Structure 1
Amino acid sequence: MTPLRTGLAAFALSAVAATPALAADYKIDTEGAHAFIQFKVSHLGYSYELGQFRDFDGSFTYDPDDVKASKVNVTVQTDSLDTNHAERDKHLKSAEFLDVSKYPTATFESTQFVPGDDKNEGELKGNLTLHGVTKPVTFEVDRIGGGDDPWGGYRQGFEGETTIQPADFGIDMVKKLGPASENVELYITFEGIRQ
């Protein structure tokens, strides 16, 4: 190789090495059922009701070199609530609680990610719109892992938890299920496929 070609090759390699990793967009893999939105609420202070929303979609942006720039958007179809009990589901979907006929979707749009000491964890802040009311919430988030999948794609996986008070969103659980039902724990976990 001539000195000129050697110099050009070295320059090209150094330019590639100096190029920072770019943020990537991911689609949450709901089609492959690698995503879950679950909740837990006390029932009269005697036990817990567990459930999930089966129909939702969303996307996120993630750059391991600039985690502060991470963004998430999720839309949930509230009629997809499932607690493994048809009559209870009907009740929770009624005007007494979620009123899904009037408010068919709930959304979360992030506004900020604050990394912890480990950049794979932190606080995801954003706006949750539920029952027609928008309030700020913060999820404690952990990155589970990321890499190639067996189908030629590339994935990143996360989980997050937060606690909300339904009364803040105009849903008075306390009157209907007792004081222990003031708080609802939300848990999310999902894999995203890089687009």
Structure 2
Amino acid sequence: MSFTDFEYLLDKISPLISKQDTDFREAIPAKYRLAITLRFIASGDSYISLHYLFKVSPQAISKIIPEICKAINDVLRNEINMPSTADAWMNIERGFRRKFPHCLGSIDGKHINIESPPHSGTEYLNYKKTFSIVLLALVDAHYKFIFVDIGCQGRIRYKTGKVVNGDTISI
């Protein structure tokens, strides 16, 4: 991510994620909170690894990441638009045509490990036997997001009722 993109995103979500200092502690600045989250999403580093990198406790990191992901989702929700016309889908296909004819997007997903929410049973349990939420994204040929889903349970269910486990999904 470029510095300009980071600053743009930080400017958008700062009002939602900034915390105030107290008499007992200084708040973790918004830019560190965003950097921790982006590093986690990009690399999948453990909270312990992020602790050594950013000098923030794993307990704090476990609270920061879901909060920042929700803020990003809330702020950027209206900037990601699924095509609604045949012409819009054909424009996406044109971007892929040279290498991947008839392709309408590139999709991938990532399990984001979490602690099991209270009283959720196995609802967030994934095939790796850890609790997670799923980050799923569809992009066009220019890496522009056209669909994002953040936060469904560790298993993805489609209308057919089929459970698809895995890091990438073929549609």
TM-score range, shorter chain: under 0.3
By relative contact order (CA 8 Å, sep 6+), the higher-ranking structure is 1
Relative to its length, the structure with more helix (as a share) is: 2
- The TM-score with structure 2 as length reference comes to 0.26
Higher strand share: 1
Determine which structure has more spread, i.e. the larger CA radius of gyration.
Answer: 1
